[in-house]
Chains A and B, each alone.
Chain A
């Protein structure tokens, strides 16, 4: 077995072979699923805690504040302290709430983000499941979270929760179109929906460069629409504090609230990771065709660093506009989608199809 941080495929193949050698294939698959589940769970917790801290720091600096700075050096243990506190908080039972749906809702939100995480290519060979309809699967799974939000709003037996959930529903129904269309633009360029092939096709030039203008438009629309889909500011009217207390999670306390909170940050990570994979070459280093020396230097940086770096940059972009723009009204939100994004997007897909037909891309 040879282990390399540049290519994990031999490492994962070695785990697979050694498991299959000592037990029946069914049990081997079950154990592999368990390993992947545990790894993703740990990654999930680390990313969630880190992103909460990062967001608080970023927003503080943008608002001329300091942010968390008391717990640990630079406040890095602040989110851990918050998590421990949330674990000890009482789960307040809600009178006349739908008990089953109320406790089910946070798990649906978590499961939706969990399933999306499984299909993301983190590095070469570090890819839990490589579906041939990867893009389609990610779209389908990432929009499942809204079911949890709607359930939470409905089961809480609270006006604010219900209004927040309904707003979230209207938002997802509209913005899912834009997310889908902007991904279709790139699928047209790539000619495949399989994420590993999409990444492979971007070895010499990421799609945002190869597809130039239509890819750029698709990227802007994707990043805005997926921010709306994850219920983040400036599209966070599902939890608009000033009008709806906390929207769909008003009645949730303790660890159930933490699940919603964590899922929001993980969804942000997933959205940024999809954008990275589809527009910015996933784990591919920045290579230019013909520049051998430059490519060698770039290839020295391990692929998962590239992936996490690009994802981090996009997460920063999402945070940047969250902490800059004021929250939209519901009519402004729908106007933006149906009058601007959707027509622009449809024309953009046509332009991209034309460019691919005429070969006007790199």
Chain B
């Protein structure tokens, strides 16, 4: 008797769960707003990428052309495939102390795997990911970028 009840229970639960599945896909079918596809080259002007999308590594500068990079080189050490090269220089401060600053923060986009270790480990949050993703160029030397802008300085208060 118990097995008979189990048999009909199985049929009932089976049909119920199948109908639940069909209601989900049927709902997607009648609601065109659920479509996720982006028609990329057509909507290029209006396309907005996600904030956490890893496009390429950039160094944000403020309006006074100041960045936060102290030139410590932690990003260079952490990079698994040698994408980052930090070329440092020394500067004499007003108190007469010698201080290390960056001359060039070189980023080889062609070698980057977008793992994000540099951005994650930077002690002063000097690096970030931009949402730019159209990286194709005809000359690979263009993939080597200097992230600090010419004439930029270290932001006040960042050590």
Chain A residues packing against B (C-beta within 8 Å): 58, 61-66, 69, 320-321, 323-325, 340
Inter-chain CA distance A191–B15, complex, in Å, is 31
Inter-chain CA distance A321–B26, complex, in Å, is 10
Inter-chain CA distance A340–B11, complex, in Å, is 8
Interface of chain A, main secondary structure: loop
| Set of chain A residues within 8 Å of B37, measured between Cβ atoms | 64-66
Are the CB atoms of A62 and B25 closer together than 8 Å? yes
Which of B28-36, B53-61, B88-96, B125-133 faces chain A? B28-36
In the complex, how many angstroms separate the beta carbon of B25 from the nearest chain A beta carbon? 4
**What residue in chain A is nearest B20 (Cβ atoms)?**
A324
Kindly identify which residue among A63, A64, A66, A320 contacts B26, using a CB–CB cutoff of 8 Å: A320
Instruction: Using known A-B contacts A64-B34, A65-B35, determine if residue A323 contacts B25 with beta carbons closer than 8 Å.
Output: yes
Kindly identify which residue among B22, B34, B35 contacts A320, using a CB–CB cutoff of 8 Å: B22
**What residue in chain B is nearest A65 (Cβ atoms)?**
B37
Are the CB atoms of A64 and B28 closer together than 8 Å? yes
In the complex, how many angstroms separate the beta carbon of B12 from the nearest chain A beta carbon? 12
In the complex, how many angstroms separate the beta carbon of B93 from the nearest chain A beta carbon? 58
In the complex, how many angstroms separate the beta carbon of A78 from the nearest chain B beta carbon? 15
| Set of chain A residues within 8 Å of B11, measured between Cβ atoms | 340
**What residue in chain B is nearest A322 (Cβ atoms)?**
B25
Instruction: Using known A-B contacts A61-B32, A64-B34, determine if residue A324 contacts B25 with beta carbons closer than 8 Å.
Output: yes
| Set of chain B residues within 8 Å of A325, measured between Cβ atoms | 18, 21
In the complex, how many angstroms separate the beta carbon of A320 from the nearest chain B beta carbon? 6
| Set of chain A residues within 8 Å of B36, measured between Cβ atoms | 64-65
Are the CB atoms of B22 and A64 closer together than 8 Å? no
Are the CB atoms of A320 and B25 closer together than 8 Å? yes
Inter-chain CA distance A320–B22, complex, in Å, is 7
Are the CB atoms of B35 and A61 closer together than 8 Å? yes
Inter-chain CA distance A321–B34, complex, in Å, is 19
| Set of chain A residues within 8 Å of B28, measured between Cβ atoms | 61-64
| Set of chain B residues within 8 Å of A66, measured between Cβ atoms | 35, 37, 39
Inter-chain CA distance A64–B34, complex, in Å, is 6
Kindly identify which residue among B18, B29, B39 contacts A62, using a CB–CB cutoff of 8 Å: B29
Inter-chain CA distance A340–B93, complex, in Å, is 86
Tell whether B24 is near chain A: CB-to-CB under 8 Å: yes
| Set of chain B residues within 8 Å of A324, measured between Cβ atoms | 18, 21-22, 24-25
In this complex, the member of A65, A69, A324, A340 whose beta carbon has the largest number of chain B beta carbons within 10 angstroms is: A324
Inter-chain CA distance A37–B28, complex, in Å, is 40
Inter-chain CA distance A270–B147, complex, in Å, is 65
Inter-chain CA distance A64–B25, complex, in Å, is 9
In the complex, how many angstroms separate the beta carbon of B74 from the nearest chain A beta carbon? 42
In the complex, how many angstroms separate the beta carbon of A34 from the nearest chain B beta carbon? 42
| Set of chain B residues within 8 Å of A64, measured between Cβ atoms | 28, 34-37
Inter-chain CA distance A62–B26, complex, in Å, is 7
| Set of chain A residues within 8 Å of B18, measured between Cβ atoms | 321, 324-325
Inter-chain CA distance A143–B35, complex, in Å, is 39
In the complex, how many angstroms separate the beta carbon of B113 from the nearest chain A beta carbon? 29
| Set of chain A residues within 8 Å of B21, measured between Cβ atoms | 324-325
| Set of chain A residues within 8 Å of B29, measured between Cβ atoms | 58, 61-62, 320
Inter-chain CA distance A129–B110, complex, in Å, is 69
Q: What is the 8 Å Cβ interface bit string for chain B, positions 30-50, against chain A (1 contact, 0 not)? A: 001011110100000000000
Excluding A323-B25, A324-B21, 17 further A-B contacts by CB distance (< 8 Å) are A61-B29, A61-B32, A61-B35, A62-B25, A62-B26, A62-B28, A63-B28, A64-B34, A65-B35, A66-B35, A66-B37, A66-B39, A321-B18, A321-B22, A324-B22, A325-B18, A340-B11
In this complex, the member of B32, B34, B35 whose beta carbon has the largest number of chain A beta carbons within 10 angstroms is: B35
| Set of chain B residues within 8 Å of A65, measured between Cβ atoms | 35-37
| Set of chain A residues within 8 Å of B34, measured between Cβ atoms | 64
In this complex, the member of B21, B22, B26, B39 whose beta carbon has the largest number of chain A beta carbons within 10 angstroms is: B22
In the complex, how many angstroms separate the beta carbon of A65 from the nearest chain B beta carbon? 5
In this complex, the member of B22, B26, B29, B32 whose beta carbon has the largest number of chain A beta carbons within 10 angstroms is: B29
Inter-chain CA distance A346–B125, complex, in Å, is 73
Inter-chain CA distance A107–B11, complex, in Å, is 40
In the complex, how many angstroms separate the beta carbon of B35 from the nearest chain A beta carbon? 5
| Set of chain B residues within 8 Å of A62, measured between Cβ atoms | 25-26, 28-29
**Which 6 pairs of residues, A with B, have the shortest CB-CB distance?**
A62-B25, A324-B25, A66-B37, A64-B36, A324-B21, A61-B29
| Set of chain B residues within 8 Å of A69, measured between Cβ atoms | 39
